[in-house]
Amino acid sequence: MEIKEFGVIILAAGKGTRMKSDTPKVLHSIHGQTMISLVLRCASSLFGENIVVVVGHKAELVKAEIDQQFKVSYALQKELLGTGDAVRAAIPFLIDSIKNVLILCGDVPLIKKDTILEFVNFHIGNSYDISLFSVHLDKPTGYGRLIFNNKNELVSICEEADATPEQKDINLVNAGLYCIKKDFLVYALDLIDTDNFQKEYYLTDLVSIAFKNNSSIGCFLGNDPDEVIGINSVSDLKKVELILTKKIVANIQ
């Protein structure tokens, strides 16, 4: 099934320094399948060829792997200046008829088709300008924390590196997946700056921009944190392999 007027951007440009390997992060394998192929298999089953993969580090290796199985468009992030910059690079490659954009991460390989469909329907059904995927984590270290005001309105996402000790205690986190109206996305990307600890263009800044702009913000709550585990290290990879092994065994029994 394809969802009309929806395009997908998959972020796959990172080096993956903590993987301690020359192999691009998204090309590391889980049960014989690369991370990026797992994400693409899920996305293409819903959106067909309306997919733009943002490549950067060792781009030709990543493209060669993808081209064996999928037909997608590519955007090159020339300098690794953050997730906001990566999405900006992809915008010109979205076809004109696209009205909403789903943003996925190439290093979050356990996301399921049904979950993505539920997330997309949440976004479309409520006509939000931007919807983000959130989960509760017992140990939220490394994830952006969701910041609400006293009216229970989502006002921003604070990245780990910029968080205060109080904010680090928040366990409702951003999973890094978004649905965004294309018009709002194009508008808001021009307002992102690098005024943060890492001096990068954070895609998470879109939430605070939306709040200040009185744009509508949806916060989708996922019920399985395992689906949105991001792989940033060898230990993360082993953790995901174990989870997938258990799922495979459960399906056999």
Note the pLDDT of residue 221.
98
Q: List, by residue number, the catalytic residues.
A: 18
Q: Is there a contact between 34 and 28 (Cβ–Cβ < 8 Å)?
A: yes
Residue 249's pLDDT is 76
* Backbone phi, psi, residue 119, to 5°: -65, -45
Calculate mean pLDDT across residues 2-27.
Answer: 88
CB 213 within 8 A of CB 199: no
* pLDDT tens-place string over residues 114-157: 999 999 999 999 999 999 999 999 999 989 999 999 999 999 99
Residue 1 lies in a domain: no
For the segment 174-214, what is each residue's pLDDT rounded down to a tens digit?
Answer: 999 999 999 999 999 999 999 999 999 999 999 999 999 99
Regarding pTM above 0.85, the answer is yes
Euclidean distance between CA atoms 145 and 142, whole angstroms: 9
The pLDDT of residue 22: 87
The predicted model gives 29-34 an average pLDDT of: 93
Residue 129 located in a structural domain: yes
Average pLDDT for 167-175? 96
Task: Quote the number of domains for the chain.
Answer: 1
Structural domain range at position 12: 6-252
Q: Residue 3 above 90 pLDDT? A: no
pLDDT at residue 45 greater than cutoff 90: yes
* pLDDT (0 to 100) of residue 241: 94
Residue 228 inside a domain? The answer is: yes
Q: Is the pLDDT of residue 58 over 70?
A: yes
125: part of which helix (H) or strand (E)? helix 113-126
Tell me if 248 is assigned to some domain: yes
What CATH number does residue 68 fall under?
3.90.550.10
Residue 175 contacts residue 135 (beta carbons within 8 Å): yes
What mean pLDDT is predicted for residues 38-50?
A: 95
CA distance 237 to 28: 8
Does pLDDT of 1 surpass 60?
Answer: no
The answer to whether residue 210 sits within a structural domain is yes
Report the chain's C-alpha Rg in angstroms: 17
